[in-house]
C-alpha cells in the first residue's frame, strides 16, 4: 500500500488538532503503520474562511459526497458533531467500505449499537475513544487492557465544565451563577451550558462506558440524571465540615446480572481519589474483580488532547488495514440488559433540613428514619438561621434508594419539617 488517505468531516478546534498532529508526526506514523498517511479532503462550511487561515483551498470542500464517495479515501474522521445528519453520513461511509473514527459522544450514546452493527456488516472499523474523557485512553483500557477481567464498578468525573464550576465554588465560596459566568468567560462553558450543567453530557458518556464496561446495551433513558444547578455554596460548605467534596459523578455499578447507571451531584469522602480532581480535568475510576481499583486521569477536552485520542484510533484502524483484520473488533454486547429497581440500589445520603425549633422534632425525624431501617452516620445541628427555624444536616448509613425516597415523601408531610433544602448521594473513600 502506497499511502492511507483520510477524509475529515469538520475542521473546528479538534479537527485542526488532528490535521496538525498528522502533519507534524509523519515520521512516527510512518514507523507505526509502514506507509505514508495524508489528509486528502476536509469538509467545511466556508472554504474562504479556512483558506484565509492557512489551509490550502484544494484540501477543502463543502460537498460531503466528495469525501464519502471518493474511492481513494480509506478512513473518515468525524469531528463535526450533530446527530441525525451525521448518523446518515457515517452509515453511507460504511456502505462505501470506509472505516470511521469519531469523537461524537452524543451520536454514539444514541445510535452506537446501529453504527457498530453496520460497520461489522461491511467489515469496517468504528473507533470512538475521543468520545469520552478527551485525551484519557479510557475506552481502550476497558475493552483491551481490562478485557480479561470482570468490571463491576465505573465511577467518573467526565464533564470538565461542571468540575470547574464545583471546584471554584468550593475554593472561593462563590455562588453557582457567579462561577458559571466565569467559566463562560474562560471558554470552559458554552453560551448555552444546559447539556453540561444539567448532566446530559456526562450521562451520554456514562452510557458508552457502561455499555463497553459491562458488555450490555445501556441506553440514555436508563440513566438517572441530576445536574448541578441546584447546588448551593452552603451545601458545599456543610459538606466540607463533614469531610466531603462535591463533584458531579457518573456511576455505573454491576451487581450480579443487574446494573444501575446515574449522574448526580455527589459528596465524596475527602480521601477518595476523585475528590482531588480539580478544575476542567477528568478522571475515571474503574474496579474489576481481579485487578481491583484503577484510576485514569487527564485533560477531558481541548484541541490536542482530544485529537491525540483520535489519531491513536486512526493508528489502530491503519494497523488493521495493513493486517487485513478490519471489522472484527466491533464486538456486540454479550449480556441482556437488566436494570436494578430502586430497592436494589444502595448508598449513603446527605440530607439538609429546615425544621421547627421546638422540642421533640428531632425525635420524630429519627423515628421516621428508623421505621424504614435507616440509621445515621453523622449529624450536624446548626445554629438557628432565623427565628423559630433550625437547620439539621444528616448523613445516613447505607440505605436503599426506595427506602430513602419514601422517607423524603413522609418528611414533606411533617408539619415540623419546614423545608427539605438539599439531598445528595454520598460515596466513601473507595469504590469497592
Query: At 413, which helix (H) or strand (E)?
Result: helix 401-413
Answer yes or no: are the C-beta atoms of 385 and 238 closer than 8 Å: no
Q: Do 409 and 227 form a contact (C-beta atoms < 8 A)?
A: no
By DSSP bridging, strand 281-288 and strand 292-299 are: antiparallel
Catalytic residue at 205?
A: yes
Residue 336: name the closest of 262, 260, 257, 261 by CA: 257
The pair phi, psi for residue 2, each rounded to 5°, is -75, -45
Give, in order, the Cα–Cα distances in Å from 124 to each of 83, 325, 384: 20, 9, 65
CA distance 83 to 106: 7
* Cα dihedral sign, 224-228-232-233: positive
Asked if 44 and 50 touch (Cβ cutoff 8 Å), the reply is: yes
Give the count of beta carbons closer than 10 Å to the beta carbon of residue 276. Answer: 13
Please name the residue that has the C-alpha cell 465540615.
241
Angle among Cα 260, 109, 150 to the nearest 5 degrees reads 45
Q: What is the CA radius of gyration of the chain?
A: 24
Where helices occur in 36-192 by DSSP H, the ranges are: 47-51, 65-68, 84-95, 105-121, 138-140, 160-172, 176-186
Beta bridge partners of 17: none
Sheet holding 75-78, edge to edge: 60-61, 37-43, 4-9, 75-78, 99-102, 126-127
Q: Which of 168, 205, 247, 421 is catalytic?
A: 205
Catalytically active residues, by annotation: 205
Amino acid at each position: 500500500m502506497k499511502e492511507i488517505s483520510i477524509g475529515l468531516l469538520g475542521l473546528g478546534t479538534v479537527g485542526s488538532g488532528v490535521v496538525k498532529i498528522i502533519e507534524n508526526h509523519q515520521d512516527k506514523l510512518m514507523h507505526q503503520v509502514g506507509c505514508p498517511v495524508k489528509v486528502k479532503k476536509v469538509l467545511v462550511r466556508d472554504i474562504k474562511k479556512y483558506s484565509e487561515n492557512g489551509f490550502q483551498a484544494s484540501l477543502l470542500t463543502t460537498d460531503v459526497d466528495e469525501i464519502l464517495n471518493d474511492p481513494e479515501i480509506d478512513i473518515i474522521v468525524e469531528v463535526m458533531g450533530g446527530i441525525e445528519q451525521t448518523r446518515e453520513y457515517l452509515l453511507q461511509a460504511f456502505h462505501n467500505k470506509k472505516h470511521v473514527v469519531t469523537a461524537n459522544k452524543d451520536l454514539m450514546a444514541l445510535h452506537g449499537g446501529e453504527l457498530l452493527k453496520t460497520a461489522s456488516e461491511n467489515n469496517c472499523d468504528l473507533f470512538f475513544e475521543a468520545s469520552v474523557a478527551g485525551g484519557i485512553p479510557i475506552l481502550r483500557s476497558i475493552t483491551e487492557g481490562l478485557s480479561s477481567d470482570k468490571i463491576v464498578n465505573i465511577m467518573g468525573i467526565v464533564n470538565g465544565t461542571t468540575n470547574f464550576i464545583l471546584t471554584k465554588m468550593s475554593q472561593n465560596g462563590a455562588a453557582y451563577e457567579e462561577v458559571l459566568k466565569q467559566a463562560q468567560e474562560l471558554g470552559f462553558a458554552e453560551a448555552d451550558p444546559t447539556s453540561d450543567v444539567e448532566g446530559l453530557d456526562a450521562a451520554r458518556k456514562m452510557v458508552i462506558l457502561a455499555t463497553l464496561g459491562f458488555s450490555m446495551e445501556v441506553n440514555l433513558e436508563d440513566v438517572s440524571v441530576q445536574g448541578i444547578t441546584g447546588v448551593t455554596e452552603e451545601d458545599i460548605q456543610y459538606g466540607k465540615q463533614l469531610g466531603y467534596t462535591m463533584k458531579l459523578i457518573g456511576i455505573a455499578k454491576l451487581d450480579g446480572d443487574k446494573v444501575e447507571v446515574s449522574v448526580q451531584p455527589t459528596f465524596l469522602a475527602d480521601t477518595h481519589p476523585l475528590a482531588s480532581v480539580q478544575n476542567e480535568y477528568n478522571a475515571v475510576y474503574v474496579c474489576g474483580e481481579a485487578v481491583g481499583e484503577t484510576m485514569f486521569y487527564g485533560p477531558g477536552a481541548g484541541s490536542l488532547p482530544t485529537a491525540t485520542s483520535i489519531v491513536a484510533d486512526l493508528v489502530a484502524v491503519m494497523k488493521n488495514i495493513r493486517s487485513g483484520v478490519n471489522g472484527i473488533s466491533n464486538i456486540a454486547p454479550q449480556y441482556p440488559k437488566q436494570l436494578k429497581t430502586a430497592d436494589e440500589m444502595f448508598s449513603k445520603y446527605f440530607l439538609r433540613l429546615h425544621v421547627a425549633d421546638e422540642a421533640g422534632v428531632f425525635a420524630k425525624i429519627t423515628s421516621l428514619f428508623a421505621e424504614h431501617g435507616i440509621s445515621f452516620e453523622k449529624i450536624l445541628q446548626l445554629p438557628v438561621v432565623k427565628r423559630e427555624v433550625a437547620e439539621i444536616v444528616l448523613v445516613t448509613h447505607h440505605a436503599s434508594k426506595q427506602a430513602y425516597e419514601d422517607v423524603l415523601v413522609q418528611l414533606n408531610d411533617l408539619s415540623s419539617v419546614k423545608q427539605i433544602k438539599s439531598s445528595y448521594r454520598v460515596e466513601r473513600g473507595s469504590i469497592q
